[in-house]
Structure 1
């Protein structure tokens, strides 16, 4: 086997692996040991690709064109399948999205191959492959430039998708798998048309141009899907923000009503003190103290955002006979954005408060919040009573709300989005009638160092 044959096989698998990383890196969350598994898998795939050279030579020696064509198509489908398995092992991604991104990756790789290998090295400059080092350099430069352009175009859209476009349904998986196979088959048909019957004496550029056009069309369609999906997610976030503002307005209005009522009661109590006996006056004073002491009992922390949230939720809970207990160390939250803290804690407490509000038993109308730092991680946990079984969808508890279904699940989705933003994890479970929501977020090393110095 010649050095050129080995180079061509290496070139295909390496360009394909890089293209898959290009599309997946900005899209999906990396699994544990991502780098080590990716490196080992890539080396194994490269060795597998090189092993095809002697097999290909053996097939060519039979001079059976149909056998050669079928072997080529089957082999590259097999290599593509193995590369997608590697992506699946190293990233958290649905099979449907894996197929979808595989289509983008193969299209990107094949465009570069056709332009350099066919149009340039077989058509315009037939002697280029004879100079292997120069040929390799041309391949590296063109591939790097082409992939850089694709990264600039696709990266932001892929990042906005937050790791999911399609759910895993048998019909969706079958559709994308079939589309991927048809893309490879059409690519080989374009190559046959390019080379024609009189190859190497002459080449048919229409085959190469058709091939490139088909792959570019696929990338345009893929980009449109990415863009539409990203816009839909942005629309959902805006919708959630509007919903949160409506809730915030209603809560603020209710808090003002509570304070006004307290002031009104206090006014009459003070008026009554003027005309009452000593025993009744003492009773009034005790009632006033009880009313005022509530405001002193609200947890005060070093973080004003946390203080605001706890004050609001405590006022609401006090009016609706719900007991809110807090063990809060707010300092570990300081690395987070103010609005993110408000949305994360606000949604967590709102969900817990709403859940216990439906129970008449005061022992069940209890919500607890715990915020602490453990081993370099910010840990947030809420507990509340919950009857019945908990159903999950996409790893999130399914909302039990019947009314206002347009806001179904937004709170949990918003919290997961914020947790993912900071590289953390969120999990929920129900045990012995207690619903537990746990959020764990790694604190930045620099912030952790400052935190430790401050506590020293």
Structure 2
């Protein structure tokens, strides 16, 4: 070490540092999305505490040359705790561990700064030192200060961070965010401990208490920067998701407009063909040709059949989706009172029913048994609610997150999987909610909208 610290104070006990590192990991385990059972989280957390304590005690007994490696070892122990107890990805685990490490450094430094603050009216001597203070015995005061300060600090961190992380779904941080978090952690730790290495820099403290002030403030700044980074990451993710949903809304609306135009054209063609067939029957009526005309008329009838639910937008959607289902040999039935959808905009109707029926067709198409290639749509009033229910049979395995959102099985999962999210988004706009139920290979999507 270059330079000596005047009036040097005792360093933070290794036991306290280990407890802070463990509690910081616990805080983030309580707020992040966990992919493992609770018993595994509890078991890993229980085993990691003595391991982190042992590493810190080993670091304290080693030489100063071993200090950097010892801190890396402590960081690795925290990383394994987070990674194994939550089941995160490697990148997400590294990102969370970086935040937990800075939080642990901040709380440990702040608590020890409080502990080593001089008593009032004295030049030195910590105010929580066992003995007579203010006329009463304070042997228990150090323990009380430790418990209270740790509870306040880590409880406050939990209250702040629980809004920064989703406990029901995981949006893994990108590579840039992870590298940034690790870089911030390294710089924060280096600057906060620079005075312990050398006092011969413009950023080092010369006196014991000054060193601890710098350490606490730098750790606080590092934690604030990491918090701001997480806020920015959340804002960017929310913006990207909203843009994707809005793009899907626009796409569904354009698809509706195109389908409406196509169906109207088919209706005109079918109407003209029926008149032509009638004229041909009046002129030629051989029995052997009659069967061909019957088949032609049945084919025309298939294209001329349109839904009449009482809502023109829903008529177009159901007609186009029923034709899409027929092309894939899927039996599609719909019983709908379209007048119940009057409060909804045409774009919302197109998006809600378009997404729901597209998902049903996509899931039913691979079913091998023709009798089970079924899709049912029901739209009806129940009490003070409008109920929209789409049911379909499926064979493939479904994957859902904690919110019930289907995880896309397509290769490009980043640009897919917004169907159910779009439906939830529309339902929430009208004060409704969405539920998903899977039982005996029947998938049921139910949307409740207040009337």
**What SS is found at the alignment partner of 2:173?**
coil
Asked whether the 8 Å contact 2:22–2:49 carries over to 1, the reply is yes
The aligned length equals: 352
Q: Does 1:188 pair with 2:177?
A: no
Q: Which has the higher helix share?
A: 1
2:270 corresponds to 1:241 = no
Say yes or no: does 1:134 pair with 2:129. Answer: no
Residue 288 of structure 1 pairs with residue 289 of structure 2: no
When residues 253 and 121 of structure 1 are mapped into structure 2, their CA distance, relative to the original with a 3 A threshold, is farther
Distance 1:237 1:36, change over 3 A: same
Aligned to 2:399: none
Using the TM superposition, give the Cα deviation of residue 268 of structure 1 relative to its aligned residue in structure 2, in angstroms.
3.5
From 140, 145, 158, the equivalent of 2:156 is 145
Alignment of 1:271-310 (within 5 A): 277=285, 279=287, 284=293, 287-292=296-301
Deviations along 1:335-354, one digit per CA (max 9) or x if unpaired, are xx99667415415747999x
Q: Which runs of 5+ in 1 are unaligned?
A: 299-304, 331-336, 357-365, 383-393, 400-408, 422-440, 452-456
Q: Do structure 1's residue 396 and structure 2's residue 404 form an aligned pair? A: no
Deviation of 1:144 (Å): 0.7
Q: Say whether residues 1:111 and 2:123 are aligned partners.
A: no
SS of aligned partner of 2:267: helix
**Matched residues in 1 for 2:392 and 2:108: separation?**
48
Match in the other structure for 1:388: none
TM-score (norm 2): 0.59
Residues 283 and 222 of structure 1, relative CA distance in 2, 3 Å threshold:
closer
Is the contact between residue 190 and residue 211 of structure 1 (CA under 8 Å) also seen in structure 2?
no
Secondary structure of 2:329's counterpart equals strand
Question: Scaled by the length of structure 1, what TM-score is found?
Answer: 0.59
Offset at 1:52? 4.0
* 1:199 pairs with one of 199, 205, 208: 208
Q: Following superposition of structure 1 onto structure 2, how do residues 75-114 of structure 1 map, counting pairs within 5 Å?
A: 75-91=70-86, 93-114=88-109
**1:315 partnered with 2:323:** yes
Give distance in 2, aligned partners of 1:352 and 1:249: 25
Structure 1 equivalent of residue 329 of structure 2: 324
* Structure 1 Cα separation of the partners of residues 20 and 48 of structure 2: 11
3-state SS in 1 of match to 2:174: coil
- Check conservation: 2:28, 2:100, Cα contact below 8 A: yes
1:346 alignment counterpart: 358
Q: Which residue of 1 aligns with 2:267?
A: 259
Could you list the per-position Cα deviations for residues 252-278 of structure 1 after superposition, in whole angstroms to 9, with x for gaps in the alignment?
Answer: 322232233222222333455566658
**For 1:102 and 1:329, how far apart are their aligned partners in 2?**
52
Could you say if the C-alpha distance between residues 16 and 52 of structure 1 is closer, same or farther in structure 2, counting changes exceeding 3 Å? same
> Within 1, Cα distance between the matches of 2:45 and 2:437?
30
Is the Cα–Cα contact under 8 Å of residues 99 and 226 in structure 2 kept in the other structure?
yes
CA gap 1:294/1:277 in 2 versus in 1, 3 angstroms: same
Contact 1:325 1:369 in 2 (8 A): yes
The structure number with the bigger radius of gyration is 2
CA–CA distance in structure 2, aligned partners of residues 237 and 190 of structure 1: 51
CA contact (8 A) 1:19 1:108 kept: no
Which residue does the alignment assign to 2:228?
220
Q: How does 1:376-395 map to 2 (within 5 A)?
A: 380-381=394-395
Secondary structure at the aligned position of 2:208 is classed as coil
Match of 2:402 in 1: none
Shift of 1:44: 1.4
Secondary structure, counterpart of 1:163 in structure 2: coil
* Equivalent pair of 1:97/1:165 in contact (CA under 8 Å): yes
CA contact (8 A) 1:371 1:379 kept: yes
**Secondary structure of the structure 2 residue equivalent to 1:20:** helix
Of the three residues 29, 32, 42, the one matched with 2:45 is: 42
